[in-house]
Structure 1
Amino acid sequence: MNIATSSPPSFEVYKSPRLLIDGVWLENGDRKTQPVVNPATEKAIGTVPHATAEDLDRALEAANRAFPLWRATSPRERGRILKRAAHLMHDRQEDIARLATLEMGKPIAEARLETHFACEEMEWFAEEGRRTYGRVIPGRLGETRFQVVKEPVGPTAGFSAWNFPVGNAARKMGSALAAGCTMIYKPGEEAPAAAAAVAQCLIDAGVPAGVIAVVYGVPDFISRHLLASPVIRKISFTGSVPVGQHLIRLASESLKRTTMELGGHAPVLVFDDADQAAALEMSVQRKYRNSGQVCVSPTRFYIQDKSYEAFCAGFADKASKLKIGDGLDPSSNMGPLVHARRRDSIEALVQDATSKGAKLLAGGHRVNNEGFFYAPTVLADVPDEARIMSEEPFGPVAVLNRFSDFDDAIAKANKLPYGLAAYGFTNSHKTIARLSDSLEAGMVGINSFNISMPETPFGGVKYSGHGSEVGIEGVEAYMVTKTISIT
């Protein structure tokens, strides 16, 4: 492992975000605030305000008032506004990406890519919102005919984690607005300004006051307040399984619709007949992307017997050569974890695994005297009783174990209650077909970790959630179906 030591490029003074309610960015006033911390330095770079109950009531009233206007806006015009927002995000890509890096630590190259992908998703929503077609069905009696139409569900609430602050914001607000819904959006407090920058692009593109709101604060307080209101008709959440379960229970009291993109613990099956060099190169790159803080991150690697030892050695060698440092330093391959709690959690999982017999092939320690850095870590021969085999690490730790044959591999891959993403590497067409049918996941990558585009649905099964974001399904999630009989 190498530590990047060159000085990061200069950046303008961080501008603390504010609440966005009814088209106005509000001054903090006497609201409670919390610091926004740069995880590479452990220093506060700004503050984020907490919304009060009065703030949330104002946001609810504005979303309810703006909904009829936005619903009546033609899909073509809504699409034009969203496209303008995508173009503004593209023009501001460098500033938005730097905000994401400052707030949650990812390398600037990854933040730029995230912003670029968010622009593409916003453009997709702009186009797909024009295709929310219904259908006409001939009746059986007389001259009766039936129309099936799709309508926006109403005002919505979106909640996201901090790991992709730009992409999550664009995905939540873009899909809701494309369908004709209004949204109150709460990003993670760790990376609020990057999400606010996306909202600013929507406002500058012409989104009317009240159609979007951005609020921050204690998650349980905000979710309980918003979900208790009859104004909200649907929620979309990206985050952990326990929080998702909590939100589902709250939503069930008033039968609100839900889309849940929850945690994962993605298996990777590497067969002896796979292109081992390619599988190894891709695996290391994707494992340590965003310091492993990715819901679809490959985590449980199962390698067939003949290839196991060489794959383990190669993985450890490549992981140890990654440069760890401030994300604003272009030479850094991996940045810090988002906060001390995440670093401490990873450290505890690694210590538990090694205490139960796992082999530490690389990493396993903190890096630097400041910042929430943890070395890219590789564990091999990890016993099933180790916590990391059943708990999503959400950090820079790869777990390597062996398998004997196809049935053994599938049994290991499907063992956990999670089912967000799964991956397989093989050159056998027969095995590819069997993997596609047998892996229990909402998204499966074969010989690739590229499992998502704006055109494809993103979502999981089992404890990893329900419903889909992005693609046709992502827009339809914000619409209800109405049948009309006409004689």
Structure 2
Amino acid sequence: MNDYSSKLGLYIGGEWLGPEGRDTTQPRNPATGEVIGELPSASLDDLDRALQAAEEGFAQWRDTSGTERANVLRKAAALLRERADDIARIATMEQGKPVAEAKGELGLTASLIEFHAGEAERIYGRVLPRPTGSRSLVLHQPIGVVAAFCAWNFPILNPARKLAPALAAGCAIILKPSEETAGSAIAIMRCFEDAGLPGKVAQMVFGVPDTISRHLLASPVTRKLSFTGSVPVGKHLMKLAADTVMRSTMELGGHGPVLVFDDCDLDKTLDMLVPHKFRNAGQVCISPTRFHVQEGIYEKFARGFAERTSALRVGSGFESETQMGPMANARRPEAIDAMVENARSEGATVLTGGTRGANGRGFFYQPTVLTDVPMTARLMNDEPFGPVAMISRFASDDDAIAEANRLPYALAAYCFTENGRRQNRLGDEIEAGMIAVNQLALSWPDSPFGGMKDSGFGSEDGPEGVMAHLVTKTFHMK
């Protein structure tokens, strides 16, 4: 058993449980396709143990002061920073992104945990004005046990994004990260464990996703659902949660429109957009995807975008020269290839890329740029979640806004223009939970992160992330 595999396990009731007597899955290194470990899958008995432990842990943790909870979170963040090199290498080995990207993700994650530590000490209620002798209070209290599910694309950030606000609010949590990036999630949980989090407050399970979600969401112990993933799975989980009237936070897919107007600083815009588009091999829910360019600069933009894209270095995330690593699993290159071929068949032009990796090993797909993609093509309607950029032209502001709002996705949008009046209009009229103008950064610890329409509801991060784990109670006395 290698060192990576020896660290894989379930965490239930403060104990790490290995593969003995359990079914297993086999995580793979996406740069080589090789199996790197044996991950145990939770049985129904394991899930029942997790529910019981979480119920007991909640009874303890909800009565723990905000300051004590904050201290645990701050120590966990400090341990995460201390272990940065090891955790970043785990993330690269099992997810594929370059080590530098993994370290950047880790830095954001530590800052997010620290922010929520502060929020644990700022859960305020209020006193309502009443006549002398009467009191009316508004209280915010932890909702209970949280069932949280997260995706593989940000193996360090996603688990912490579930753990930190729930723990700050005083909730217990059962977390199911992706089986494909279990090692990173386990490393995060060990930071919380070593920071002094009581063993029954947080559980971590892996296994068959549908079995786990149905079992946890059917239990009366579970009072909140938090999910990061695809739109179809999110809708499925919402239906399960409806049976117990469970509060839900849904961070679902996106299809980020980018509106580029002819008054932008074109070279600066291109220099920002290309590396951001192919960050994490495009496997980012807020990835800029549909590039709508005003017709006066369309040709120059497309040519500059393709030139910069073709110069990107693709390879193993452990190689210092690599700018884009492999896709996370074998399913993704197949899905992207099918979508690109569909666009080609409908008349799209491939300016660069459009093929899988040449060496036959790993799950690589070349950074790809397409123009003249018809609106009927799958790429223009379904989230590609990969290293593909589609460039089209528009004439007027009205046309650009209409195209940005055409799809049911409404997570992130990007705009590049120097016209202040136009910027205000775009902020008002574009349907997206997050909008960036002349920049690309959308994820900040103190800023709510979430979407609209089919991209979900509720917010993670910011004070809103903690409030999503609290119930409001009014208390009247005379």
TM-score normalised by L of structure 1: 0.97
Whether 2:291 is the aligned partner of 1:301: answer yes
Task: For 1:125, give the aligned amino acid.
Answer: H
Aligned mate of 2:121, from 130, 148, 152: 130
| RMSD over aligned Cα atoms | 1.0
Aligned mate of 1:210, from 200, 207, 210: 200
Aligned mate of 1:346, from 324, 336, 339: 336
Task: For 2:44, give the aligned amino acid.
Answer: A
- Separation of aligned partners in 1, 2:212 and 2:109: 25
Question: 1:51 aligns to what?
Answer: 42
For structure 1, list consecutive stretches of 5 or more residues without a partner in the other structure. Answer: 1-10
Summarize the alignment of residues 79-478 of structure 1 with structure 2, pairs less than 5 Å apart. 79-139=70-130, 143-367=133-357, 368-478=359-469
Aligned mate of 2:471, from 457, 460, 480: 480
Question: 1:67 aligns to what?
Answer: 58
8 Å CA contact retained: 1:442, 1:458: yes
- Separation of aligned partners in 2, 1:16 and 1:349: 37
Query: Which deviations, in whole Å up to 9, do the C-alpha atoms of 1:450-484 show, x marking residues without a partner?
Result: 11210000000000000000001000000000000
- Separation of aligned partners in 2, 1:12 and 1:52: 24
Instruction: Quote how far apart the aligned CAs of 1:12 are.
Output: 6.7
Runs of 4 or more above 3 Å deviation: 11-16
Query: Which deviations, in whole Å up to 9, do the C-alpha atoms of 1:150-208 show, x marking residues without a partner?
Result: 00000111100000011011110011000000000000111001001000000000000
- Separation of aligned partners in 2, 1:407 and 1:253: 42
- Percent sequence identity over matched residues? 53
Instruction: Quote how far apart the aligned CAs of 1:281 are.
Output: 1.0
Instruction: Quote how far apart the aligned CAs of 1:77 are.
Output: 0.4
Instruction: Quote how far apart the aligned CAs of 1:13 are.
Output: 5.4
Task: For 2:213, give the aligned amino acid.
Answer: S
- Separation of aligned partners in 2, 1:28 and 1:213: 16
362-371 vs 291-300, which deviates more? Answer: 362-371
- Separation of aligned partners in 1, 2:360 and 2:244: 49
Match of 2:432, SS? Answer: coil
- Separation of aligned partners in 2, 1:275 and 1:80: 45
Instruction: Quote how far apart the aligned CAs of 1:139 are.
Output: 2.0
Task: For 1:440, give the aligned amino acid.
Answer: E
Instruction: Quote how far apart the aligned CAs of 1:75 are.
Output: 0.2
Query: Which deviations, in whole Å up to 9, do the C-alpha atoms of 1:75-126 show, x marking residues without a partner?
Result: 0000001000000000001111111100010010000000111000000010
Instruction: Quote how far apart the aligned CAs of 1:209 are.
Output: 1.2
8 Å CA contact retained: 2:8, 2:18: no
8 Å CA contact retained: 1:16, 1:48: no
8 Å CA contact retained: 2:4, 2:37: no
How many correspondences in the alignment? 476
8 Å CA contact retained: 2:143, 2:224: yes
Instruction: Quote how far apart the aligned CAs of 1:297 are.
Output: 0.1
- Separation of aligned partners in 1, 2:224 and 2:393: 43
For structure 2, list consecutive stretches of 5 or more residues without a partner in the other structure. Answer: none
Match of 1:247, SS? Answer: helix
Task: For 2:38, give the aligned amino acid.
Answer: T
